[in-house]
């Protein structure tokens, strides 16, 4: 006889499936002949028996339940709790994705205004996979760092050029993907810093506008908020929006890192009456935006469309894209030169970027990661002799000063993050953005869950996060001996080998 105490789940299931009817019978008889109170157990046991019979003989979908009965449910329960168990109990500090605990912790500390100095040593890699900043032998003092200023639209000499004074922008997230309280917290927080927030592609930015912050209005491929019935651009609606004091720039979204070549998605669970009205779409169906703008069929029409938006809005206008093939970006820049028409900025979004909802294959397998894409774009613009005509905004996991400084060295004029700001207002990376069940109330419209967000408190965290990032960026500039981010170049980077530019390893 074996002395091992191994559990044979199949035998245990057979035992359970036999025990349930026997116990139900015993308690039924006890209730009948001994005391009525035994029926308090008979009733749940009979319920359990019926459910178990259904699992074993009724339903046909799940083999596990047909073979194991009620015990099989244990697997599904543990599986559904798996992410939480791993996150809280079993994962190491540098293991999880997209952001590990160390990375999230850094944002939480910044948002809570807690000193983020760490002790003993770095947890990052010092092998051949990590890019580092080359510091100078002669660092400069904090007082010598110049305040950040970047003026968009100055190259075209437009009247409404916009000067950005905070180098970290809240990347596009629509009301729809986010709940109203999250939008208002972010907007109120950024307003306290004088920074810029992108509205995302959610149509008329009702809640973004409430908090008096500077906004870049995003036009997605469905053109929510500025669309004609046939999905093309409505010039009149765009002109009306652009005339609003708070709208400082327009961003035409060509693609997004998390799902390039696929339009925005809003699952039906998140489409409330209000969202259906703001976007002009029906309820009860997923909203899937077109893969591209009807107006952008090739290089010439794309550049012509950018110029048209510049003319209608009279504002700085940029494009957002994830680069797939740098040769296409090269062609696009060539077309800008031919037409002598340039977007005022180009947002390069890395394939590692986040989203409210996207097909997994797109999240995992489509598009160039940020660092190589940014370097390519910068090099192409330089080689074409037009780098000074456009600003570059970079996004894609740039949630910490360490990764942001590298983006500046690779050519960014400003950086943007979406998930960094979500973390700053309490995101716990529950990975439920698309299901309306966000446990901390950020990506949901369920009032019971949104209740958790206290707008003044979260706004303060947003402002703290930005101030702390600015502080750290300034200190990194000192170390590199640079007075502004514009002084940083590729030569400020220590790149151990070519593959280090490809952030298969975490790069924060």
Ligand X SMILES: Cc1cc2nc3c(=O)[nH]c(=O)nc-3n(C[C@H](O)[C@H](O)[C@H](O)COP(=O)(O)O)c2cc1C
For ligand X, the binding residues (CB under 6 A) are: 171-174, 177, 200-201, 218, 253, 256-257, 264, 320, 349, 353-356, 395-399, 417-420, 433, 443
Please state, as a whole number, how many other Cβ atoms lie within 10 Å of the Cβ of residue 15: 12
Cβ proximity to ligand X: between 24 and 96 the closer is 96
φ/ψ (deg, to 5) at 112: -95, 5
Q: How far is the CB of 176 from ligand X (least distance, A)?
A: 8
CB of 181 to ligand X, least distance (A): 14
Q: Which is nearer to ligand X, 193 or 395 (CB)?
A: 395
CB 489, min distance to ligand X, A: 23
Distances (CA, A) of 43 to 58, 74, 497: 21, 22, 69
Per-residue HEC secondary structure of 276-328 comes to HHHHCCCCCCCEECCCCCCCCCCHHHHHHHHHHHHHHHCCCEEEEECCCCHHH
CB closer to ligand X out of 188 and 253 = 253
Q: Which residue has the tokens 């035992």?
A: 15
- Cβ closest to ligand X, residue 248 vs residue 507: 507
Pairing label, strands 214-219, 247-253 = parallel
Place of tokens 């209000």: 274
CB of 393 to ligand X, least distance (A): 10
Residue 436 CB contacts under 8 Å (≥ 6 apart), including other chains:
267, 269, 270, 443, 444, 445, 446
- Indicate the residue among 153 and 354 with the shorter CB distance to ligand X: 354
Minimum Å gap between C-beta 398 and ligand X is: 6
- Which residue intervals of 59-198 are DSSP H helices? 63-68, 72-85, 101-111, 180-193
39-53 helix and 9-33 helix, angle to the nearest 10 degrees:
140
Compute the radius of gyration of the chain from its Cα atoms.
27
Rounded CA separation 367/99 (Å) = 19
| CB-nearer residue toward ligand X: 264 or 503 | 264
- The CB-of-264 to ligand X minimum distance in angstroms stands at 6
| Closer to ligand X by Cβ: residue 425 or 478 | 425
Query: In terms of CB distance, is 218 or 464 closer to ligand X?
Result: 218
Q: How far apart, in whole angstroms, are the C-alpha atoms of residue 170 and residue 418?
A: 6
Q: What's the min distance (Å) between Cβ of 96 and ligand X? A: 15
Please report how close the Cβ of residue 186 comes to ligand X at its closest, in angstroms: 11
For residues 458 and 70, what is the distance between their CA atoms, to the nearest angstrom?
44
């Amino acid at each position: 006889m074996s002395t091992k105490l191994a559990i044979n789940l199949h035998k245990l299931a057979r035992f359970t499936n036999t025990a349930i009817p026997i116990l139900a019978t015993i308690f039924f008889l006890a209730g009948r002949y001994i005391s009525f109170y035994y029926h308090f157990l008979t009733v749940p046991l009979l319920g359990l028996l019926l459910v178990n019979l259904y699992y074993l003989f009724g339903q046909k979908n799940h083999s596990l339940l047909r073979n194991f009965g009620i015990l099989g449910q244990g697997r599904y329960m543990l599986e559904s709790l798996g992410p939480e168990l791993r996150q809280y109990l079993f994962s190491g500090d540098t293991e999880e994705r997209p952001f590990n605990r160390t990375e999230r912790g850094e944002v939480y500390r910044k948002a809570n205004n807690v000193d983020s100095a760490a002790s003993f040593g770095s947890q990052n890699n010092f092998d051949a996979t990590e890019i580092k900043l080359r510091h100078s032998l002669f660092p400069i003092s904090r007082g010598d760092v110049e305040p950040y200023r970047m003026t968009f639209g100055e190259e075209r000499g437009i009247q409404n050029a916009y000067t950005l004074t905070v180098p970290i922008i809240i990347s596009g997230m629509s009301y729809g993907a986010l709940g109203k309280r999250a939008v208002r917290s972010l907007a109120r927080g950024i307003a306290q810093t004088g920074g810029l927030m992108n509205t995302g592609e959610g149509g008329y930015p009702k809640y973004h506008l409430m908090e008096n912050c500077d906004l870049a209005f995003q036009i997605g491929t469905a053109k929510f908020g500025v669309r004609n019935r046939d999905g093309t651009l409505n010039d009149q609606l765009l002109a009306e929006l652009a005339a609003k004091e708070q709208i400082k720039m327009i961003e035409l979204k060509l693609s997004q890192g998390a799902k390039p070549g696929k339009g925005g998605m809003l699952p039906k669970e998140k489409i409330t009456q209000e969202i259906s009205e703001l976007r002009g779409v029906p309820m009860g169906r997923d909203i899937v935006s077109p893969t591209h703008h009807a107006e952008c069929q090739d290089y010439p029409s794309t550049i012509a469309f950018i110029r048209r938006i510049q003319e209608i809005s009279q504002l700085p206008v940029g494009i957002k894209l994830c680069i797939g093939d740098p040769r296409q970006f090269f062609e696009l820049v060539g077309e800008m030169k031919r037409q002598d028409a340039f977007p005022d900025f180009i947002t390069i979004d890395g394939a590692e970027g986040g989203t409210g909802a996207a097909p997994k294959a797109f999240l995992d397998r489509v598009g160039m990661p940020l660092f190589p894409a940014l370097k390519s774009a910068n090099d192409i613009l330089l080689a074409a002799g037009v780098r000074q005509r456009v600003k570059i905004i970079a996004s894609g996991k740039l949630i910490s000063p360490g990764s942001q400084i590298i983006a500046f060295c690779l050519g960014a004029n400003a950086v943007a993050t979406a998930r960094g700001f979500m973390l700053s207002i309490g995101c716990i990376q529950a990975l439920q953005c698309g299901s309306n069940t966000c446990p901390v109330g950020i990506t949901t419209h369920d009032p019971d869950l949104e209740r958790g967000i206290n707008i003044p408190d979260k706004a303060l965290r947003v402002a703290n996060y930005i101030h702390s990032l600015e502080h750290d960026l300034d200190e990194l500039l000192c170390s590199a001996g640079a007075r502004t981010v514009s002084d940083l170049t590729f030569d400020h980077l220590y790149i151990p080998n070519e593959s280090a530019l490809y952030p298969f390893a975490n790069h924060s």
